[in-house]
């Protein structure tokens, strides 16, 4: 039976490949939905992750960057800089705005990069993103590929025009892209003469950012100090809260559809072999061997499908980035393994139906032409 | 002589109430080793159902089937499968060869179902393949074979485990006249030379000649057609019992009328009558 099981499986390579591709596509569908969510979340967090702030000082009560209209007053900024253990501190303007021509605006976050040469240099070295000159703007790179913006083009931020002087990577999400302008432009745009929306702090060597954050909160009244890790966790949780239900629903539908595809593919794959399984039964093959044969065949098809699906991730990520750059996708190997295992189980469960059917095989199936 | 196959009071009904179909009703039969029996009857008369029950693929509602002294009706599914592998050879109208396997692998497939039997079966396969004229086709896949070749492979597959009973469902149904006769003679030889019981369900009039008995199944009930008026004689070539009333292959030699079981025996006799005619 084992011999026949394998020979039968590989005797029709096109059928085998077709079934494996069906399973691979189902797996990719599940992975894609997860990757879109991960990509979006990753874009939201990239700004915090890369910026030169081990400790982020915000207005008291603010826990994430979504509350972007909060303000840290100038005395608090100065007091933060005076806390022992602070190596450098960078006041940053950061607010929501509308990006693009009237009628086609995109909700965006706008960051004003300090004009101080040392801080500009630190910013560029740390983030890798261009700190724009007055009148200039750094756009997320997908807006170049997707919307056709080039260096030197003009784009409006809440009605004021800026010239595109650079592009940044990792700052575009469908929900809220992030752009950078000069501090002075931002002050004029935000109508904020003094203070800042946040202060980014780097700790002295050997100073634990968590302890420094506590010290800042203790010494500077009216501020909330969060380590980078805390702020990223808060922003990620917020992203989940905002899109969680939708993403969960999409994920459930996607996973359901994928499971159906896998189940149907496995069922069809075994069903076309029902006739031969029935012949084997008539000739004396015991039930357990017939079921095992169907399960082994389906298992191998599922494994091949999972391998194809996993193998397609890397080229798919590259292709998607080139094809739809405005959609951030980030495949997860761990999720891929989890979904792969789930796919395998779904395929095996689906194969049980025709395999069990073989137990009750109609003799007419073998006796009639 | 002890029958190899014995069925007593078999009944099988499909459905219930007004829509009930009595496929087999109170059928009893016995088959001796070396005997070739035809089961005939109109479409839907229950022939295939009876064959399925005799082959242990379907359970009767009532009645008992015994094969080589073993009661099929008392066996569980596992034991029944093992009995099918060891003691029954099946030949199907549609051949039912396994598409992924070549001729030799198809023939040996039932041998793989009996633990420890494969090595012995491999040794038996070569002469069997040669006997059935398939030596040059042993590596061919089923789709590369003619209908006659496929049926010969199916017959070889039925014989590989040396079963005492062969059940054949319309074995000549998909074959032309020449190939049909070839397969019929093959089944005849299996009964005669190998001393196996052969039960054939068929509509084919051509193979009536080779049968020891013809059972007529109609409305689920069976009767022995050759119990009707007959005059028994012996085929001088193969020694088979032949009914002069229905024999179509006959010949006269030295003022004696001879009846033959088949055209093949008839031809062999005509080619050399002195060799086969009994000396006075």
Q: Which tokens sit at A348?
A: 């095996």
Whether A252 has its CB under 8 Å from any CB of chain B: the answer is no
| Domain shared by A112 and A52, yes or no | yes
Condensed to tens digits (0 to 9), the pLDDT of residues A107-146 reads 889 999 998 889 889 998 888 888 898 999 999 888 887 7
| Domain shared by A283 and A316, yes or no | yes
Condensed to tens digits (0 to 9), the pLDDT of residues B59-113 reads 899 999 999 889 988 898 889 989 999 999 998 888 899 988 999 999 999 999 9
Calculate ∠ Cα A127-A131-A134, nearest 5°.
Answer: 165
Whether B112 has its CB under 8 Å from any CB of chain A: the answer is yes
pLDDT at A363 > cutoff 60: no
Q: Do B51 and A281 touch (CB under 8 A)?
A: no
> How confident is residue A77, by pLDDT bands cut at 50, 70 and 90?
very high
Task: Give chain A positions within 8 Å (CB) of B82.
Answer: 284, 286
Distance CA B227, CA B242 (A): 13
| Domain shared by B75 and B131, yes or no | yes
Average pLDDT estimate for A325-329: 72
pLDDT at A326 > cutoff 70: no
Q: Do A367 and B78 touch (CB under 8 A)?
A: no
| Domain shared by A90 and A229, yes or no | yes
Task: Give chain A positions within 8 Å (CB) of B51.
Answer: 367
Least CB–CB distance from A282: residue in B77, B84, B100: B84
Q: Do A367 and B52 touch (CB under 8 A)?
A: yes
| B contact test, residue of A8, A9, A279, A284 with most B CBs within 10 A | A284
| Domain shared by A118 and A173, yes or no | yes
* The pLDDT value given to residue B229: 57
Residue numbers of the domain that contains B254: 233-276
Task: Give chain B positions within 8 Å (CB) of A1.
Answer: 112-113
Q: In sequence order, what are the residues at sequence separation of 6 or more whose Cβ sits closer than 8 angstroms to the Cβ of residue A159?
A: A98, A102
Q: Do A283 and B157 touch (CB under 8 A)?
A: yes
> How confident is residue B226, by pLDDT bands cut at 50, 70 and 90?
low
CB contacts under 8 A, B 156-175 vs A, are 157, 169, 173-174
> How confident is residue B16, by pLDDT bands cut at 50, 70 and 90?
confident
Residue numbers of the domain that contains A350: 2-44+244-367
Of A41-55, A345-359, B137-151, the least confident: A345-359
* The pLDDT value given to residue B212: 86
| Domain shared by B145 and B245, yes or no | no
What is the number of structural domains in chain A? 2
| Domain shared by A248 and A269, yes or no | yes
pLDDT at A293 > cutoff 60: yes
Whether B140 has its CB under 8 Å from any CB of chain A: the answer is no
Task: Give chain A positions within 8 Å (CB) of B174.
Answer: 369
Last residue of a domain, one of A193, A216, A238: A238
Condensed to tens digits (0 to 9), the pLDDT of residues A301-321 reads 888 888 898 888 888 888 887
Last residue of a domain, one of A188, A208, A238: A238
| Domain shared by A14 and A142, yes or no | no
| Domain shared by B192 and B272, yes or no | no
| A contact test, residue of B58, B112, B122, B169 with most A CBs within 10 A | B112
pLDDT at A164 > cutoff 90: yes
| Domain shared by B57 and B168, yes or no | yes
CA–CA min distance A293, chain B (Å): 13
Q: Do B86 and A284 touch (CB under 8 A)?
A: yes
* The pLDDT value given to residue B61: 93
* The pLDDT value given to residue B44: 77
pLDDT at A29 > cutoff 90: no
* The pLDDT value given to residue B10: 93
| Domain shared by B222 and B237, yes or no | no
Whether B50 has its CB under 8 Å from any CB of chain A: the answer is no
| Domain shared by A55 and A191, yes or no | yes
| Domain shared by B152 and B251, yes or no | no
What is the complex's ipTM, to 2 decimals? 0.76
pLDDT at A183 > cutoff 80: yes
Helices B103-112, A2-11: axis angle to 10 degrees equals: 150
Count chain A–chain B contacts defined by CB atoms under 8 A.
92
| Domain shared by B31 and B13, yes or no | yes
Least CB–CB distance from A369: residue in B77, B81, B93: B93
Query: Is pLDDT larger for residue A247 or for residue B98?
Result: B98
pLDDT at A41 > cutoff 90: no
Task: Give chain A positions within 8 Å (CB) of B101.
Answer: 4, 7-8
| Domain shared by A98 and A19, yes or no | no
| Domain shared by A337 and A262, yes or no | yes
Query: Is pLDDT larger for residue A265 or for residue B246?
Result: A265
CA–CA min distance A27, chain B (Å): 29
Condensed to tens digits (0 to 9), the pLDDT of residues B122-131 reads 998 898 888 8
Condensed to tens digits (0 to 9), the pLDDT of residues B248-273 reads 788 999 888 898 877 888 999 999 99
* The pLDDT value given to residue A251: 65
* The pLDDT value given to residue A327: 72
Q: Which tokens sit at A126?
A: 């740390």
| Domain shared by A186 and A222, yes or no | yes
User: What CATH number should be reported for the domain holding residue B22?
Assistant: 3.40.50.300
* The pLDDT value given to residue A364: 54
Average pLDDT estimate for B117-138: 88
| Domain shared by A179 and A72, yes or no | yes
Whether B57 has its CB under 8 Å from any CB of chain A: the answer is yes
Average pLDDT of the residues of chain B: 86
> How confident is residue A103, by pLDDT bands cut at 50, 70 and 90?
confident
Residue of A nearest to B113 (CA): A285
Q: Do B84 and A283 touch (CB under 8 A)?
A: yes
> How confident is residue A245, by pLDDT bands cut at 50, 70 and 90?
low
* The pLDDT value given to residue A354: 67
Last residue of a domain, one of A238, A254, A283: A238
* The pLDDT value given to residue A6: 83
* The pLDDT value given to residue B48: 86
| Domain shared by B198 and B257, yes or no | no
Distance CA A318, CA A20 (A): 22
What is the full DSSP assignment across chain B?
A: ---SEEEEEEEEEES-GGG-EEEEEEEEEEE-TT-EEEEE--TTSSHHHHHHHHTTSS--SEEEEEETTEEGGG--HHHHHHHHHHHEEEE-TT----TTS-HHHHHHHHHHTSTT-HHHHHHHHHHHHHHTT-GGGTT--GGGS-HHHHHHHHHHHHHTT--SEEEEESTTTTS-HHHHHHHHHHHHHHHHHH--EEEEE---GGGGGG-SEEEEEETTEEEEGGGSS--EEE-TTT--EEETTT--EEEEETTEEEEESSHHHHHHHHH-HHHHSPP-
Residue of A nearest to B171 (CA): A367
What is the number of structural domains in chain B? 2
Average pLDDT of the residues of chain A: 84
CB contacts under 8 A, A 289-328 vs B, are 289
* The pLDDT value given to residue A208: 95
| Domain shared by A70 and A197, yes or no | yes
| Domain shared by B168 and B87, yes or no | yes
| Domain shared by B200 and B140, yes or no | yes
pLDDT at A347 > cutoff 80: no
pLDDT at B165 > cutoff 90: yes
Condensed to tens digits (0 to 9), the pLDDT of residues A263-283 reads 777 777 777 777 888 888 888
| Domain shared by B205 and B66, yes or no | yes
> How confident is residue B228, by pLDDT bands cut at 50, 70 and 90?
low
| Domain shared by B92 and B184, yes or no | yes
* The pLDDT value given to residue A317: 81
Q: What percent of chain A has pLDDT over 70?
A: 91
């Amino acid at each position: 039976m084992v011999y026949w099981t394998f020979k039968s499986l590989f005797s029709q390579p096109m059928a085998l490949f077709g079934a494996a591709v069906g399973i691979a596509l189902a797996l990719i569908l599940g992975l894609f939905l997860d990757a879109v969510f991960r990509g979006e979340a990753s874009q939201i967090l990239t700004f915090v992750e890369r910026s030169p702030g081990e400790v982020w000082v915000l207005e008291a009560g603010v826990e994430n960057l979504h509350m972007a209209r909060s303000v840290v007053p100038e005395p608090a900024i100065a007091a933060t800089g005076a806390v022992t253990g602070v190596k450098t501190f960078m006041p940053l303007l950061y607010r929501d705005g509308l990006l693009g021509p009237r009628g086609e605006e995109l909700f965006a976050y706008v960051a004003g990069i300090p004009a101080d040469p040392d801080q500009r240099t630190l910013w560029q070295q740390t983030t890798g993103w261009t700190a724009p000159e007055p009148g200039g703007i750094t756009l997320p790179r997908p807006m170049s590929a997707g919307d056709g913006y080039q260096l030197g083009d003009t784009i409006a931020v809440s009605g004021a025009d800026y010239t595109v002087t650079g592009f940044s990577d990792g700052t575009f999400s469908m929900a809220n892209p992030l752009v950078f302008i000069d501090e002075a432009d931002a002050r004029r745009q935000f109508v904020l003469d003094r203070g800042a929306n946040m202060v980014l702090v780097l700790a002295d060597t050997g100073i634990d950012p968590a302890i420094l954050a506590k010290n800042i909160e203790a010494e500077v009244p009216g501020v909330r100090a969060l380590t980078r890790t805390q702020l990223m966790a808060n922003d990620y949780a917020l992203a989940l809260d905002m899109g969680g239900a939708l993403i969960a629903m999409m994920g459930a539908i996607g996973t359901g559809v994928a499971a159906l595809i896998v189940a149907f593919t496995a069922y069809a794959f075994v069903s076309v072999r029902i006739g031969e399984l029935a012949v084997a039964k008539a000739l004396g093959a015991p039930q357990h061997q017939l079921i095992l044969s169907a399960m082994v065949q389906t298992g191998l098809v599922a494994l091949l499908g999972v391998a194809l699906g996993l193998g397609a991730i890397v080229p798919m990520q590259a292709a998607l980035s080139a094809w739809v750059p405005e959609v951030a996708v980030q495949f997860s190997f761990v999720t891929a393994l989890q979904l792969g295992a789930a796919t395998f189980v779904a395929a095996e469960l689906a194969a049980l139906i025709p395999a069990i059917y073989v137990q009750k095989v109609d003799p007419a199936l073998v006796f009639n032409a | 002589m002890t029958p190899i196959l014995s069925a007593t009071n078999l009944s099988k009904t499909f459905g219930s109430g007004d829509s009930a179909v009595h496929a087999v009703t109170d059928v009893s039969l016995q088959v001796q080793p070396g005997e070739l029996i035809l089961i005939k009857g109109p479409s839907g008369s229950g022939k295939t159902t009876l064959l399925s029950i005799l082959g242990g693929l379907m359970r009767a509602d009532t009645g008992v089937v015994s094969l080589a002294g073993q009661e099929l009706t008392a066996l569980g599914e596992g034991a029944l499968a093992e009995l099918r592998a060891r003691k029954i050879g099946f030949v199907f109208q549609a051949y039912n060869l396994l598409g992924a396997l070549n001729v030799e692998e198809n023939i040996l497939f039932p041998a793989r179902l009996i633990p420890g039997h494969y090595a012995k079966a491999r040794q038996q396969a070569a002469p069997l393949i040669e006997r059935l004229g398939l030596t040059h086709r042993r590596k061919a896949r089923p789709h590369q074979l003619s209908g006659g070749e496929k049926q010969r492979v199916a017959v070889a597959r039925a014989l590989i485990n040396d079963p005492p009973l062969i059940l054949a469902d319309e074995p000549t149904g998909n074959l032309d006249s020449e190939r049909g006769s070839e397969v019929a003679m093959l089944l005849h030889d299996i009964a005669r030379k190998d001393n196996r019981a052969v039960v054939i369900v068929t509509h084919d009039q051509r193979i009536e000649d080779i049968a020891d008995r013809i059972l007529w199944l109609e409305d689920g009930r069976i009767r022995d057609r050759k119990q009707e008026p007959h005059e028994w004689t012996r085929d001088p070539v193969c020694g088979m019992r032949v009914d002069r009333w229905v024999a179509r292959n006959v010949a006269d030699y030295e003022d004696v009328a001879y009846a033959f079981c088949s055209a093949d025996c008839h031809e062999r006799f005509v080619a050399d009558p002195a060799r086969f005619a009994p000396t006075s």
